[in-house]
Every structure is written in C-alpha cells, then in structure tokens.
C-alpha cells in the first residue's frame, strides 16, 4: 500500500498538456519490488490521470494512475534525482 504522509494533501499541481516533441516515457506494469513505497509528491486528484513521484528501496520512479482505464503503470526505477526530474518534465508537459 502507499502512504501519503500525515498532512492531507489532496490538491497537487496540474499537469500541463504535452508539448510537441515531448519525451515519450516507457511505462511498465508495476513491479512491486519493494515492501514500502513512499509517495513523495503527486499531481492533483481532480484529474482522471494522476502522476506520483515515488521513492522505495533507495530508488525513485513515477507512477501513473489512469482512472478511465483503471490502469497503473510506472517508469523504470532509477536514481531519485532522475525520477524527480522526470516528474517535473511530466508536470511541464515535456514528457509523458
Ligand atoms: Zn485539481
């Protein structure tokens, strides 16, 4: 299960529309390779698709939840700094 910390944080930032020529991320089936996954930050839950920056086992990745398709996908697990950069790129429409 995920946890989002003690402070209710329902409203996060909204993702911008993907820009022309944006980076196409590869999205994988969730790997469940760690017992505890911490959600570091997440986009606003008023949208049908939300993105979460996650940390687990000393690594980071971005998780995408699509409530229309009821699917969860995640990027490759990587250095936390790289995962945060990818999350920022998603927010700014530079990657999707
Ligand atoms: Zn919102």
pLDDT digits (tens, 9 = 90+) for 47-84: 999 999 999 999 999 999 999 999 999 999 999 999 99
Say how far apart CA 59 and CA 40 lie, in whole Å. 12
How many whole angstroms from 47 Cα to the centroid of ligand 1?
A: 6
How many whole angstroms from 33 Cα to the centroid of ligand 1?
A: 30
* Mean of pLDDT values over 36-44: 95
Contacts of 16 (CB under 8 A, 6+ apart): 91, 92, 93
Per-residue pLDDT at 25 exceeds 90: yes
Residues with Cβ within 5 Å of ion ligand 1?
A: 44, 46
**Tell me, what's the pLDDT at 7?**
52
**Tell me, what's the pLDDT at 87?**
98
Per-residue pLDDT at 11 exceeds 90: no
Question: Do 62 and 87 form a contact (C-beta atoms < 8 A)?
Answer: yes
Per-residue pLDDT at 2 exceeds 50: no
């Amino acid at each position: 299960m995920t946890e989002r910390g003690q402070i209710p944080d329902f409203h996060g930032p909204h993702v911008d529309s993907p820009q022309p020529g944006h980076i196409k991320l590869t999205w994988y089936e969730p790997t469940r390779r760690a017992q505890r996954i911490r959600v570091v930050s997440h986009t606003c839950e008023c949208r049908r698709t939300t993105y979460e920056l996650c940390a687990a086992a000393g690594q980071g990745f971005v998780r995408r939840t699509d409530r229309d398709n009821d699917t969860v996908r995640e990027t490759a697990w990587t250095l936390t700094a790289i995962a945060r950069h990818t999350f920022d790129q998603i927010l700014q429409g530079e990657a999707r």
